[in-house]
């Protein structure tokens, strides 16, 4: 996919009109600037704490994609990619350029995609030092480019530019607008740093598949002993970061990857982990980052006097976050491209408490569940979300998929058939009853099951066929209580379990109707 580029270099225009430019500042210098500007506070260990204001999660209703002749036939238009007219975008761009004129700005020249064959340059222009630090952390730092450099992607980041809603042709005072044809991302009215990360991911989910590369909302790691890799698909809160950050394996990345005919690679250079109720025992590597220099803690509560964090305090939001460079972890994969995965894990957080904690899928079932993307959104990851909400999110990342989900499914089928990778469905949600009645499956138990999969510990165990969904559920797993593997056994009312499970199956059927005529009959028949 060739990015046409804007008729005028908007980054160069903004930089030429700035009162001061801080270009590619290092992490310590950005710390100094952020402290001096009162953007946040230093905590014990050297982390930098910030508060993002009213918006503590993504604002999906304020995200738009500019409709152009180049993009109109490709983009998956709808609630996740709301169309914006080119004229509206031009007015917003002009407003952002005028807003930044005469201001002190921070510029970071970065790249995305560890594989140099698919790399794109990203220039981030923002009015805050800590957002520049976030960009340097989450993307891949590169050398400074001249002011007239034309990057593949330009982010104009104006968190304090308040729009006029309908008067500006948008829904509210905030906007996240992607002009994919020109490679320009405009973010205004929200300081939540995750908008930058996910906007670039959305753009890469447009560019890469059009080059024949499968982009993935997934984590990935490698077994250093065998060289075998694994992929972990899942929405925020399902355990991607926690389960992939395993001291026994090397982390490739925790959220955004791509799968080519030669292997898999990380799209970004940092991690953006949820930190609420983070456990030192269950998640030691991530926990360690909450007191490390270079980590940004977003909306995390701390003691003003001691500067000690309270990771259990959700008084601002459930969606507390830690942004840290991948290289700061102990066990990291150092090469640009990793081997093809031997296992693909689809993660779901079932709030009904009826899905088995682990199931083996056929290739057709893998595609069915990949397109279904069943999970429950967890509190705080989006504005206004306070309780778990049942959702079907195609590709386990519908908010970030720029193309029709079947495009990604077709590429996934090609990769699965090419490599013979085994796919698994793992439920990190509730057991013994629905949310509010049962309890969440302990992460330690889930990790045992994941390790059994990755270490081929389930090859010789007995499996039972699920009567409703048809997938195979192990009767036993190393170190796991066998009762946990059969969710019906741990419900106090088996008949109620059957009723709820049947109800969930009907939800699957109703949701998949949108894809039934777009996939092979074998895939359409691979669900309940």
- Enumerate the active-site residues: 58, 198, 217, 236, 240-241, 255, 321
CA distance 327 to 333: 9
Query: What is the CB neighbour count within 10 angstroms for residue 216?
Result: 27
> Minimal CA–CA distance to 369: which of 300, 471, 465?
471
Spell out the SS3 assignment of 185-235.
Answer: EEEECCCCCHHHHHHHHHHHHHHCHHHCCEEEEEEEEECCCCCCEEEEECC
Cβ neighbours of residue 365 closer than 8 Å, sequence gap 6 or more: 423, 469, 470, 471, 526, 527
Cβ neighbours of residue 401 closer than 8 Å, sequence gap 6 or more: 76, 80, 202, 205, 217, 394, 395, 408
> Minimal CA–CA distance to 88: which of 186, 214, 159, 160?
186
Backbone CA torsion sign across 234, 172, 39, 111: positive
CA distance 352 to 335: 40
Residues belonging to the chain: 528
CA distance 257 to 238: 17
Hey, what's the torsion of the CAs at 314, 319, 324, 329, to 10 degrees? 80
Decide if 153 contacts 123 (C-beta within 8 A).
yes
> Minimal CA–CA distance to 259: which of 334, 338, 331?
338
Decide if 345 contacts 450 (C-beta within 8 A).
yes
């Amino acid at each position: 996919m060739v990015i046409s580029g804007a008729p005028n270099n908007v980054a160069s225009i903004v930089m030429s009109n700035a009162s001061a430019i801080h270009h590619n500042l290092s992490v310590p210098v950005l710390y100094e600037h952020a402290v001096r500007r009162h953007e946040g506070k230093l905590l014990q260990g050297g982390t930098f704490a910030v508060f993002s204001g009213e918006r503590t999660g993504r604002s999906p209703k304020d995200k738009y994609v500019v409709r152009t002749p180049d993009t109109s036939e490709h983009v998956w238009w709808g609630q996740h990619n709301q169309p914006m007219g080119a004229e509206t975008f031009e007015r917003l761009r002009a407003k952002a350029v005028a807003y930044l004129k005469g201001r002190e700005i921070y510029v970071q020249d970065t790249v995305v995609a560890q594989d140099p064959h698919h790399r794109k340059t990203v220039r981030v222009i923002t009015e805050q030092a800590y957002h520049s630090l976030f960009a340097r952390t989450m993307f891949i730092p590169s050398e400074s480019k001249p002011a007239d450099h034309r990057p593949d992607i330009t982010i104009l980041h104006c968190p304090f530019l308040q729009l006029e809603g309908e008067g500006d042709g948008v829904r509210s005072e905030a906007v996240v607008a992607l002009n994919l044809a020109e490679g320009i991302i405009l973010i205004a009215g929200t300081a939540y740093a995750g908008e930058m990360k996910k906007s670039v991911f959305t753009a890469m989910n447009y560019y890469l598949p059009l080059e024949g590369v499968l982009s993935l909302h997934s984590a990935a790691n490698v077994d250093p002993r065998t060289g075998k890799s694994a992929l972990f698909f899942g929405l925020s809160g399902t355990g991607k970061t926690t389960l992939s950050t395993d001291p026994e394996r090397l982390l490739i990345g925790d959220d955004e990857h791509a799968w080519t005919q030669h292997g898999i690679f990380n799209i970004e250079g940092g991690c953006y982990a949820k930190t609420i109720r983070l456990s030192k025992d269950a998640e030691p590597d991530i926990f360690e980052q909450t007191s490390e220099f270079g980590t940004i803690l977003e909306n995390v509560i701390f003691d003003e006097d001691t500067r000690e964090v309270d990771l259990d305090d959700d008084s601002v939001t459930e969606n507390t976050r830690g942004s840290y460079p991948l290289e700061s972890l102990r066990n990291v994969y150092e090469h640009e491209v990793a081997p093809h995965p031997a296992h693909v894990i689809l993660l779901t957080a079932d709030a009904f408490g009826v899905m088995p904690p682990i199931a083996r899928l056929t290739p057709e079932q893998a595609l069915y569940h990949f397109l279904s993307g069943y999970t429950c959104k967890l509190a705080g990851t989006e504005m206004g979300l306070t309780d778990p909400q049942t959702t079907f999110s195609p590709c386990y990342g519908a908010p970030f998929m720029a193309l029709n989900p079947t495009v990604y499914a077709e590429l996934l089928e090609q990769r699965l058939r090419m490599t013979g990778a085994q796919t698994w469905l793992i439920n990190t949600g509730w057991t013994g009853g629905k949310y509010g009645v049962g309890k969440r499956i302990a992460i330690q138990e889930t990790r045992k099951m994941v390790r059994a999969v990755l270490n081929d510990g389930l090859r010789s165990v007995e499996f039972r066929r699920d009567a409703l969904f048809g997938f195979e559920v192990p009767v036993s797993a190393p170190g796991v209580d066998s009762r946990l593997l059969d969710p019906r056994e741990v419900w106090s009312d088996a008949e109620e379990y059957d009723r709820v499970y049947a109800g969930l199956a009907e939800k699957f059927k109703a949701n998949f109707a949108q894809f039934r005529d777009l996939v092979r009959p074998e895939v359409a028949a691979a669900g309940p």
